């Protein structure tokens, strides 16, 4: 695999020597649900040193553990410390860590961190150059700022959910748009932009990342089409929502699916030529009135062969056709294997860090909970020796 797209060595000795473009950045993450853990994972993947502070529940189980912590991909490549944030002394320990940080990430509802004594005013007093990243669904202010919600609710308010799904019903696209795209990735971009400013000025700030804002931002192209009169509010009648016969999915003879994206005229022509279609009706590519009938014709054609037979004919050609792979199949596809798009950590198959860097490739991530040196990490982060035995007890 070429050096330009490779990861650093995954040997044990390399795990203690993080690499990547964010090597040297220190991040404190307050464990939460939703996109905040993914944002922290993105920064850790790029080489930042991330310490995750988990809150103790009454039974001693960290509050934010929804999944098995040993299998939770979003928790990879960081050290976790469990604190009782209702105890003043534990708050002091958290503030000692924050004082050494470049970035703080929290994903609680507005006001929670302030009530804990860990709000922006307190933390920026300890570390004036701190970037305080706040991840919420509705934002730190606004009519719904204190309301509960999940990805589907934030997506609904942005206009995005209405545009996604079949003709008869909006359909949530997993949690990819609001949580992951409009949430985690927007927060990661925001804290990096603010960190660049802080490194130049010494002035930290609060980054208010709201999933409603991010979901709306991701819809910029669709709002452009809407403003141009090229988007209809009905679903499955538009270019990118499955309405166009040349942009959508088709079932094959074996029940598996193909994705077709032959938008440009030359790619559309390649699709028709490769399929041997000479029906003149297909020449009216952009006549929306013909789309349903042409989609039905293509559907009948694709039902004639199994998916992989179509892939042998079409994949990699200018026809813009790809197999719709499930999560068991995707890691074994030749392209994904050639780019090492998926890796295995602790027996768990998962996406590799992205994007790729030619000069500062990130190291292979650490599995959750592997290679942790809690006392050593906290000592480097300014927590006194009297705390370490209690915070990181010996097994």
Active site residues: 150, 179
Strands 131-136 and 257-261: unpaired
| Token couple for 32 | 């939460």
Distance from chain centroid for Cα 12: 27
Q: Which tokens go with 65? A: 């553990």
Residues recorded for the chain: 395
Helix (H), strand (E) at residue 343: strand 342-345
> CA quadruple 75, 327, 178, 204: dihedral positive or negative?
positive
* Residue 49: both structure tokens together: 């040193």
- DSSP assignment of 120-175, as one string? HHHHHHH-TT-EEEEEESS-SSSTTTT----HHHHHHHHTTGGGSEETTEE---TT
Query: Among the residues of 219-306, which ranges form H helices?
Result: 220-227, 265-275, 291-302
* CB distance 62 to 56 below 8 Å: yes
Cβ neighbours around 176 below 10 Å, total: 13
How does DSSP assign 186-220, residue by residue? HHHHHHHHHHHHHHHHS--EEEEEEHHHHHHHHTH
């Amino acid at each position: 695999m070429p050096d330009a797209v490779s990861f650093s060595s995954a040997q044990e000795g390399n795990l203690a020597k993080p690499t990547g473009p964010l090597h040297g950045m220190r991040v404190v993450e307050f464990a939460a649900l939703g996109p905040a853990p993914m944002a922290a994972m993105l920064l850790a993947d790029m080489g930042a040193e991330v310490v995750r502070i988990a809150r103790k529940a009454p039974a001693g189980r960290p509050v934010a553990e929804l999944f098995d912590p040993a299998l939770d991909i979003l928790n990879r490549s960081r050290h976790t410390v469990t604190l009782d944030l209702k105890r003043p002394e534990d708050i002091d320990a958290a503030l000692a860590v924050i004082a050494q940080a470049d970035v703080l990430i929290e994903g609680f509802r507005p006001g929670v961190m302030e009530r804990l004594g860990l709000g922006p005013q307190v933390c920026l007093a300890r570390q004036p150059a701190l970037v305080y990243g706040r991840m919420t669904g509705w934002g730190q202010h606004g009519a719904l700022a204190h309301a509960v919600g999940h990805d589907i609710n934030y997506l609904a308010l942005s206009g995005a959910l209405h545009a996604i799904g079949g003709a008869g019903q909006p359909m949530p696209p997993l949690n990819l748009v609001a949580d992951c795209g409009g949430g985690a990735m927007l927060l990661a971009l925001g804290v990096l932009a603010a960190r660049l400013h802080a490194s130049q000025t010494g002035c930290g700030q609060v980054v208010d990342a709201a999933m409603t804002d991010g979901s709306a931002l991701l819809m910029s192209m669709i709002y452009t089409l809407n403003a141009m009169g090229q988007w209809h509010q009905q679903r499955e009648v538009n270019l990118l929502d499955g309405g166009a016969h040349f942009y959508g999915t088709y079932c094959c003879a074996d029940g598996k699916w193909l994705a077709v994206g032959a938008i440009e005229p030359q790619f559309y022509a390649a699709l028709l030529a490769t399929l041997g279609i000479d029906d003149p009706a297909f020449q009216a590519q952009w006549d929306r009135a013909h789309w349903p009938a042409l989609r039905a014709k293509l559907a009948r054609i694709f039902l004639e062969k199994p998916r992989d037979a179509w892939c042998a004919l079409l994949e990699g050609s200018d026809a813009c056709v790809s197999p719709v792979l499930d999560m068991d199949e995707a890691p074994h596809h030749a392209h994904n294997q050639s780019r090492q798009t998926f890796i295995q950590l602790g027996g768990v198959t998962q996406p590799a860090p992205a994007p790729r860097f030619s000069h500062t490739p990130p190291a292979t991530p650490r599995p959750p909970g592997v290679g942790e040196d809690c006392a050593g990490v906290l000592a480097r982060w300014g927590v006194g020796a009297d705390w370490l035995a209690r915070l990181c007890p010996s097994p």
